[in-house]
Amino acid sequence: MTRRRLIIDCDPGHDDFAAIALAATSVGLEIEAITTVCGNAPIERTTANALAIVGALGVPIPVYSGAVAPLLQRYEFPAAFHGVTGLDSVGATLPPPRQGVTPGHAALEIIARVNAAPGEITLVALGPMTNLALALALDPDVATKVRELVFMGGGLSGGNVTARAEFNVWADPEAAALVLRSGIKATMFGLDVTNRAWLDADDLARLKAAVAAPNPVSDIIQFYTERSGDVAAGRAPGPSLHDTCPVAWLVDPTLFETESLPVTVDTTGGPHYGATDADRRPWAPPHHQRIDVALELDQPRLARLVTDALIDVAKRIANQAQVAESLTRNALG
Ligand code: RIB
Ligand code: CA
């Protein structure tokens, strides 16, 4: 089987962590590189979190740091949902990273890797699309040389950071608009489906029971669960792991139903700044490019896939700890 080659651009981020775990534990996917962006937390934090996640996976994936701020927008970091570190936990945390950041700006690395392998690289965007916009502004041919873009962002039936706008697009609407006008082949996983990409109590219990304490993976997801507005409002039985959706679609496209729609981004700066809209009128004027938009998902199958991936990572961390402990014992004699 030829493994699909990924560059994951992200702002870890609890659900980014779950998405990376799913990609890293899926046999049909290969993470070539991780690029980080300012989003859920400042770039220093999202990059440090990405390095810790790669260390927990136990595989050497290069991490490149990217944009320190959006193209125009400026905002307060949503520490309420992800904590001040961007990956806060109710208890145990991920082990310290095993590697440092790889030199080179994320946008330039995206350009270099896509040009080195035309038609081969799938871009997975899980945060504000600042790095992708910078790459496309510097080298517009990236849009036609990339295999495709799958991204978590937007929503056609309402927002989360404002009434109409979803956080990833709202945090850098100009970047999202540039990407969606670039001609890139894109599939959008917006709140229409990702709000329903939750784990339920059984999934969380299965994750918690997967390894003896300390179980940082369970504790990290528990933090995100306790900060979830949807859980608090009784609109979801557990945490919606938004960013897992684009990766899950790459693993098994039958998990979702998509529709080709002309999606635009509001960059006017008014009350709907960052909102994504799809003009479904048959007589709608020619719009920007059409993209595929996910509108339905199979939540139970998705939850099982994601929980299994998180359990895999929990066991990798536990095994690393056991190996370290036995090496220490042997060294002490
Ligand atoms: O709106 C959800 C998105 O915002 C996710 O990518 C989450 O990580 C946050 O960045
Ligand atoms: Ca994210």
9-20, pLDDT tens digit by residue?
999 999 999 999
Using 50, 70 and 90 to split pLDDT, how confident is the model at 287?
low
Could you read off the pLDDT of 153-184 as tens digits, one per residue?
999 999 999 999 999 999 999 999 999 999 99
- Out of 11, 15, 88, 292, the active site residue is 11
Token look-up 């001609």 returns: 183
- Point out which residues pair with 121 in neighbouring strands: 5
CA of 195, nearest ligand number? 1
CA–centroid distance, 50 to ligand 2, in Å, is 11
CA of 82, nearest ligand number? 1
Does residue 109's CB lie within 6 angstroms of at least one atom of ligand 1? no
Q: How far apart are CA 258 and CA 188, in angstroms?
A: 9
Using 50, 70 and 90 to split pLDDT, how confident is the model at 327?
confident
Determine the pLDDT at residue 289.
76
Using 50, 70 and 90 to split pLDDT, how confident is the model at 188?
very high
Does residue 160's CB lie within 6 angstroms of at least one atom of ligand 1? yes
Does residue 13's CB lie within 6 angstroms of at least one atom of ligand 1? yes
Does residue 126's CB lie within 6 angstroms of at least one atom of ligand 1? yes
Beta strands 290-297 and 256-265 are: antiparallel
Using 50, 70 and 90 to split pLDDT, how confident is the model at 279?
confident
Determine the pLDDT at residue 274.
98
Using 50, 70 and 90 to split pLDDT, how confident is the model at 328?
confident
List of E strands, 192-270: 256-265
Beta strands 29-36 and 4-10 are: parallel
Does residue 152's CB lie within 6 angstroms of at least one atom of ligand 1? yes
Determine the pLDDT at residue 77.
87
Residue 11 designated active-site = yes
Residue type, 79: A
CA–centroid distance, 290 to ligand 1, in Å, is 23
CA–centroid distance, 322 to ligand 1, in Å, is 33
Q: How many CA atoms lie less than 13 Å away from 152 in the CB half-sphere?
A: 29
Domains of the chain, first to last: 4-332 (3.90.245.10)
